[in-house]
Chains A and B, each alone.
Chain A
């Protein structure tokens, strides 16, 4: 009972905690993760501002360098004189100092006069479009910013730059489709400053840094913003410069471990940032992994969207945080379940202990142990049950106590009877011998003819009283007899006849006929001949006492089924007299001990009680039928053992 109920209780506790834990896991985990992502996204967004600042500072340095150069009068003079070699030398110094990839001087008409690098400007070389100079001339002021440089310009400036700018496109998952296999244009930070002498425009100084394949900008962003943090062997934070949708400078790595130059932005981001000019601040698929990213468009000197600036951190790191959080949730849930199981177990024990006690108590009671103590400590229904059970127990105990008391009385009585009986048996033999003498001599004296009437009367009194003593002793002896039966298979008719023969003399003395009617084919009966002999003799002697001289006593045997359990066959031995009969009131009590109808001293009232005891020990019965004035029939029924006795 306890274990099954406890299992159910523990199971339901587990179910509840599992459900709660799972819901908490799903809802809480998801909410937490979203918050985490939002937080990360915000941070990356801020990181993008920092990145832009770094990009802009690079541009500012470039601008400062060129403007400072213009302030030098020597440059004006040399330009005015078209004294080119010193100009080139100056430009080269400037480029070294300002770490410029390209630098040159253009005339007021836009033609390049001179430049650094291996290809000196020549009046014969075809003119190339210089977007920086063109804009500066247009505006007649200094310009700076991001600028797209075509291949021709780069080729003219320095073939190495053209080569550096050329980028093979790499197929990228999730990118928008695009024609062509390479990007030849370069994206650069550049500035152009007009050289003015009073109102006269002398030329334009220009210079810049090619961003294609440049590591400086993106790596300084990574360094400054992400402190070169590494996650699982990869850089956690990444930065990229896009020309259009192509990565031209990046520290995002391909799975092969090279910089992912030539790969392209995912279609979704490209559309949003390049197409609509909006910022992107969300998770995005970058080259081969998911990143938490921020993109913003890069505008060139003519305010055209030409590229994008990107920063992003690996989402895997946050996924790891999420996994850890989920792990913690699971651990908490499991701990909760363990706690619930423990709690359920303990609670079950607590709730079921009283029931268990009741079950135990009833088991003990059913084994017959009524000494169970059951203190009701529980409130509620179980308490009521306990109290009811305790009441029942005390009622049972009371009943048992009464029964035991009765048994003890019974035992005391029978012990008393037994000791009285042993005493009587011892005394009886000693009494019977002298009594025989008294009886014999008294009767013999009574036969004498010469006795006076008064002497005869006295002798008759002696004879009568002696006879009474005889009966008392006999009753005591009968009562004393309480021996276990020792049965042996007995042929009933033969046995009955032998007993009748023993009493024939006494019957004749009273002038009572002793007749018998014995049925044939009776089964053999298991009986204690000794004890049943006294029963039959007792019945016969009672019949003799009840029968007047001249009448007959009939003893019959017959096959009979017991009036009770059907089918059990047995033998009935009946003693029928035509005596005085027994009134109905007395008939009901003839088998009670110490009941007698005989006058005081004539009987002990034990004969039939003892007889009944003996017969019952054989599994038989005695019944008495009687009508006053007609006679009595005492019938002994004994169970048969089957074997038929030969006729």
Chain B
């Protein structure tokens, strides 16, 4: 499964990639929301992990856009602010989970695994799969 991770902090992206790839996930990354949206549109992404606070378009915008464009594509919000700041204004529709920074690899993998398990293959299939 292809997991898209969106964060303006490259250290976070690298850490997540290092944690998820050994678990068998294909990881793609983006450092801003608009680029992430382009990737969602172009690649067969099965899951998105998105930081809420980012320069430019933020994670909330991204989650909404994904919910509009690819309903059913699970998105997990990541935030340095635990709820509620992290979750403030989070659209619950399309939000599959929440991960508070900082997190351990175990928590990350468990969250991703839990979300991925609930997603049916049909909806997880991206346009690129066909």
Contact = CB atoms under 8 A, between A and B. Distances in A.
B82 A477 contact: yes
A533 B83 CA distance: 7
Given A428-B80, A443-B104, A509-B106, A477 B12 contact: no
Interface in B67-95: 80-85, 87-89, 92
B16 A440 contact: yes
B99 interface: yes
Interface residues of B, number: 37
The dominant DSSP class at the A interface is helix
Interface string B98-126: 11111111111011111100000000000
A467 to B, nearest CB: 8
A438 B102 contact: yes
B99 A505 contact: yes
B2 to A, nearest CB: 19
B19 A433 contact: no
Interface string A444-478: 10010000000000000001001000100010011
Given A433-B9, A437-B12, A509-B110, A444 B102 contact: no
Contacts of B1: none
Nearest to B88: A530
Given A436-B103, A501-B97, A506 B16 contact: no
Nearest to B118: A501
A503 B110 CA distance: 11
B18 A440 contact: yes
Contacts of A436: 11-12, 15, 80, 101-103
B104 A428 contact: no
Contacts of A474: 82, 100
Contacts of A503: 98
Given A432-B80, A444-B18, A505 B111 contact: yes
Contacts of B80: 428-433, 436
Name, among A433, A478, A505, A508, the residue most crowded by chain B CB atoms within 10 Å (CB to CB).
A505
A435 B16 contact: no
A428 B15 contact: no
A435 B80 CA distance: 10
A534 B85 CA distance: 9
Contacts of B41: none
A56 to B, nearest CB: 138
Interface residues of A, number: 39
A444 B15 CA distance: 9
A505 B97 contact: yes
B75 to A, nearest CB: 12
Contact of B92 (A434, A440, A498): A498
A504 B114 contact: yes
A502 interface: yes
B84 A534 contact: yes
A206 B86 CA distance: 160
Nearest to B106: A509
Name, among B82, B88, B92, B114, the residue most crowded by chain A CB atoms within 10 Å (CB to CB).
B82
Name, among B87, B100, B101, B108, the residue most crowded by chain A CB atoms within 10 Å (CB to CB).
B101
Contact of A432 (B92, B101, B105, B106): B101
Contacts of B84: 481, 530-531, 533-534
Contact of A466 (B53, B85, B102): B102
Interface string B26-55: 000000000000000000000000000100
24 contacts: A429-B53, A430-B80, A432-B101, A432-B102, A433-B12, A434-B11, A436-B15, A436-B102, A436-B103, A437-B15, A440-B15, A440-B18, A440-B105, A441-B15, A443-B19, A443-B104, A477-B82, A478-B82, A481-B85, A501-B96, A502-B83, A505-B99, A505-B107, A505-B113
Interface of B: 9, 11-12, 15-16, 18-19, 53, 80-85, 87-89, 92, 96-108, 110-115
Which 4 pairs between the two chains have the least Cβ-Cβ distance?
Answer: A505-B111, A432-B80, A440-B15, A530-B84
Given A430-B80, A436-B102, A533-B87, 9 more contacts: A425-B81, A428-B81, A429-B53, A433-B9, A433-B101, A436-B12, A436-B101, A440-B102, A530-B89
